[in-house]
A and B are shown apart, each in its own frame.
Chain A
């Protein structure tokens, strides 16, 4: 069974840091591009970052550039998101999502991990 399981969320103060992880199983992780998508409470989906299958291509939405870093370990079939200089507006459920074969649609999603930025 294909699975994505996020972890690492929690309560953090403004300006703080957090590292999210996404453990995957049931597919050949190294052949898929991966993404992070978030959803603020009561709001819609917002894409935040993309990483190519071998990590050579990386993109971010403007609001997180310079603060968030996406990475992956194909040896451990895992995806990561290092978040720093966190702001209240970063409060959201963070999902990791696999992109299907042509890289555009997100065919598998994790269950999400909640990040709350508050003092």
Chain B
């Protein structure tokens, strides 16, 4: 079955750039989607199809995907960006796959 690997945690200084990786075998040929989840709230889609932002998502959220790693980038990280972030893909055998999630801490 297909697996997505994320680091358990990433830290970033306030106002700096955070990069959250999501590793998977040949993930570059799949569409990767990213979700933000804050405590007690439902997940929110922040990036879809590798790099597209839904309406209402700030421009500081961006995404890229190549070869074996997709990356969610948060430029000028704010305190309100502290959350868990999950990557997700569709796979022909496993269907929907989520990464294990990364806790982003803004210092």
Chain A residues in the interface with B (C-beta under 8 A): 35, 37, 44-47, 50, 59, 61, 95, 97, 100, 102-107, 109-112
Contacts and interface: CB of A to CB of B under 8 A. Distances in A.
B45 A45 contact: no
Contacts of A102: 49
Q: Interface extent on B, as a size class?
A: 20 to 34
Contacts of B89: 104
Contacts, number: 57
Interface of chain B, main secondary structure: strand
A47 B97 CA distance: 7
Contact of A106 (B31, B43, B49, B95): B43
A106 B33 contact: yes
Interface of chain A, main secondary structure: strand
Q: Which 5 A-B pairs have the closest CB atoms?
A: A47-B96, A105-B48, A105-B33, A109-B42, A44-B101
A47 B95 contact: yes
13 contacts: A44-B84, A44-B99, A44-B101, A45-B88, A50-B96, A59-B95, A97-B43, A105-B88, A106-B33, A106-B88, A107-B48, A110-B42, A112-B42
Contact of B31 (A104, A107, A110): A104
A101 to B, nearest CB: 10
